[in-house]
């Protein structure tokens, strides 16, 4: 069973596509006439020219809007598509979930005619710059150490790719890991944590001491003293990256 059949039940409640990130993804897709979305989930960030979504979790497929592109239940590692099936293939916040990322990336290259767009993150930058995992929940960062792929390796597998930083707006509507960097109370909400696989999969028992420390720091005002520079920032770069490969 796919992990998103368990943790994905409320995905569309906390993971609404963010319009600023959408604009960056759509710009990266450029003039591609048709797009296949791999690891598509509930369809976030799919432009209207999306012709097919590939997604292994039925729970996620069931959350796709009725007018979204058709979805096929399959994995990146074995795409049920012919060679060169679409101008562009995108894979957003999904590669870290794949059982065999090397095989999955080879499949993206087989199916894309012109362009591949991957949204992922640089784990070293994330650990260093994001206060939540650096100072409160190192267990969650350790969980991601095992599954986050080094970006240079990913770029190499893609046959070369440019890397664009993806700044995270302070009011990001897509509740992934760092979305609430300026809204720290959100991480105390189990509903928010359920939409962040790094936290959901690490589990509340392991997170409890760090969450208790965060709650205490918020109550005493220590959090606000410690990160006094954050309220003045509108967006932050904590390592999210768009990799764009031109084939
Ligand atoms: C964090 S969600 C991202 C969904 C969507 N791309 C988005 O940006 O909202 C990760 C998705 O990857 C899917 N996934 C997990 N393993 C996969 C695999 N081997 N191949 C393709 N997708 C996979 C999960 O089922 C889940 O829907």
Model confidence over 123-167: pLDDT tens digits?
999 999 999 999 999 999 999 998 999 999 999 999 999 999 999
pLDDT band at 9 (very low <50, low <70, confident <90, very high): confident
pLDDT of residue 3: 86
User: Residue ranges of the domains in the chain?
Assistant: 4-246
Which residue's alpha carbon is at the smallest distance from atom 9 of ligand 1?
A: 44
pTM of the predicted protein model: 0.97
pLDDT of residue 120: 98
Res 243 pLDDT > 90: yes
Residues above pLDDT 90, as percent of the chain? 94
Alpha carbon 3 to its chain centroid, in Å, reads: 15
Whole-number Cα distances in Å, 46 to 14, 160, 230: 17, 24, 31
pLDDT of residue 79: 98
Whether the CA torsion 126, 129, 131, 135 is positive or negative: it is positive
pLDDT band at 6 (very low <50, low <70, confident <90, very high): confident
pLDDT band at 170 (very low <50, low <70, confident <90, very high): very high
Across all residues in the chain, what is the average pLDDT? Answer: 97
Average pLDDT rounded to a whole number, residues 80-99: 98
Res 10 pLDDT > 90: no
Q: What is the pLDDT of residues 178-225, one digit of tens each?
A: 999 999 999 999 999 999 999 999 999 999 999 999 999 999 999 999
The position carrying tokens 């509507």 is 173
Q: What is the pLDDT of residues 57-67, one digit of tens each?
A: 999 999 999 99
* Nearest atom of ligand 1 to the alpha carbon of 55: 22
User: Which of 41, 78, 240 has most ligand 1 atoms within 8 Å of CB, for mutation?
Assistant: 41
User: Which of 39, 111, 121 has most ligand 1 atoms within 8 Å of CB, for mutation?
Assistant: 39
Distance from residue 73's CA to the centre of ligand 1 (Å):
11
Distance from residue 93's CA to the centre of ligand 1 (Å):
7
pLDDT of residue 2: 82
pLDDT of residue 18: 98
Within 13 A of 138's CA, how many CA atoms are on the CB side? 3
- CATH number of the 4-246 domain: 3.40.50.150
């Amino acid at each position: 069973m796919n992990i998103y059949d368990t943790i994905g039940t409320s995905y569309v409640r906390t993971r609404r596509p963010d319009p600023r990130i959408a604009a960056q993804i759509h710009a990266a897709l450029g003039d591609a006439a048709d797009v296949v979305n791999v690891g598509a989930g509930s369809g976030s960030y799919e432009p209207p020219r999306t012709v097919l979504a590939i997604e292994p979790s039925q729970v996620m497929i069931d959350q796709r809007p009725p007018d979204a592109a058709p979805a096929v239940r399959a994995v990146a590692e074995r795409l049920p598509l012919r060679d060169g099936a679409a101008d562009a293939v995108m894979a957003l916040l999904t590669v870290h979930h794949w059982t065999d990322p090397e095989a999955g990336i080879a499949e993206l290259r087989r199916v894309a005619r012109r362009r591949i767009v991957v949204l992922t993150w640089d784990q070293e930058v994330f650990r260093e710059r994001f206060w939540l995992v650096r100072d409160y929940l190192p267990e969650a960062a350790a969980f991601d150490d095992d599954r986050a792929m080094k970006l240079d390796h990913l770029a190499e597998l893609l046959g070369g790719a440019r890397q664009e930083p993806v700044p995270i707006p302070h009011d990001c509507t897509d509740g992934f890991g760092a979305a609430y960097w300026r809204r720290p109370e959100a991480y105390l909400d189990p509903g928010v944590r359920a939409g962040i696989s790094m936290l959901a999969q690490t589990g509340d028992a392991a997170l409890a001491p760090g969450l208790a420390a965060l709650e205490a720091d918020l109550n005493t005002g220590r959090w606000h003293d410690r990160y006094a520079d954050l309220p003045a920032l509108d967006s932050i770069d904590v390592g999210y990256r768009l990799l764009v490969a031109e084939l």
